[in-house]
Amino acid sequence: MDIFDTISYAKGSVICRMLHSYLGETAFTECLRRYLTVFGGANAKTDDLLAIMDQEFGASILRARFTAQSEHVSVSAFIKPWIQQKCFPMVMVQEDEEETGKFELFQSCVYMSEAENTRGMLWPIHVTYVTSKGKKGEFVFTGREFELEIEIEEGEAVWFNHEMKGFYLPVPSGPYFQDTLLPQLSSFSDAD
């Protein structure tokens, strides 16, 4: 079996896109520039690149970019589960029926049963979102469940994984999907 098959290349490109989104254009480019300056023409490992990214992309940048509710994760802690674990997550999204803008997110592996997925397979998920009125935000969560509050008006829809920059499948459910999101799908871009 070829170690670098179609799946490896496809997953690799999606992981790179997600990392680019997580770091942002400027930080991502600067990290790669520094990496190539330090290791150009030499042998290097993934950990060498991640060490440079951790140095260049500090916690202060994370705090400034993400919502206050976001968890703060180093680049190496963020990316290693994505490259070392099989599968990829789906994120169930459910809005609180009593409180507008309060969402519960739950992650599990797309291809495993719930019983199989309780073995601790988790990913740090960089969630991007956009509302039907154009408001955008992003945050990171690392646990099985995450509660999020977004300032939205009654009836305003939220689309998670804005522009499909994350390697996870958002699965909206419950009355929110049927009553709020589905009727407003045309207000989101084709990239969503």
Q: Say if residues 138 and 127 touch (Cβ distance below 8 Å).
A: yes
Is the confidence at residue 187, as pLDDT, over 80?
Answer: yes
Which residues make Cβ contacts (< 8 Å) with residue 101, sequence separation at least 6? 95, 149, 150, 151, 152
The DSSP letter of residue 178 is I
Q: What is the pLDDT of residue 178?
A: 85
User: Residue 156 contacts by C-beta under 8 Å, 6 or more apart in sequence?
Assistant: 131, 132, 133, 180
pLDDT digits (tens, 9 = 90+) for 64-76: 666 656 677 888 8
The encoded tokens of residue 80 equal: 């290693």
Q: Are strands 169-172 and 89-95 parallel, antiparallel or unpaired?
A: parallel
pTM: predicted TM-score of the whole model, two decimal places = 0.82
User: What's the CATH code of the domain at 144?
Assistant: 2.60.40.1910
Domains held by the chain: number: 1
pLDDT tens digit string along 120-178?
788 999 999 999 999 999 888 888 999 999 999 888 999 999 999 998 999 998 888 88
Answer yes or no: is pLDDT of 118 > 70: no
Question: 54: domain range?
Answer: 1-192
Q: Which DSSP string do the residues of 65-100 spell out, in sequence order?
A: HS-TTPPP--HHHHHHHHHHSSS-EEEEEEE-SSST
What is the spatial distance between Cα 91 and Cα 110, in angstroms, rounded to a whole number? 9
**Residue 150 phi/psi, 5° resolution?**
-120, 130
Q: Is the pLDDT of residue 41 over 80?
A: yes
CA distances from 23 to 50, 132, 139, 148, 152 (A): 12, 25, 12, 21, 26
Can you tell me whether residue 146 is helix, strand or coil? Answer: strand
The size of the chain, in residues, is 192
What pLDDT score does 61 carry?
60
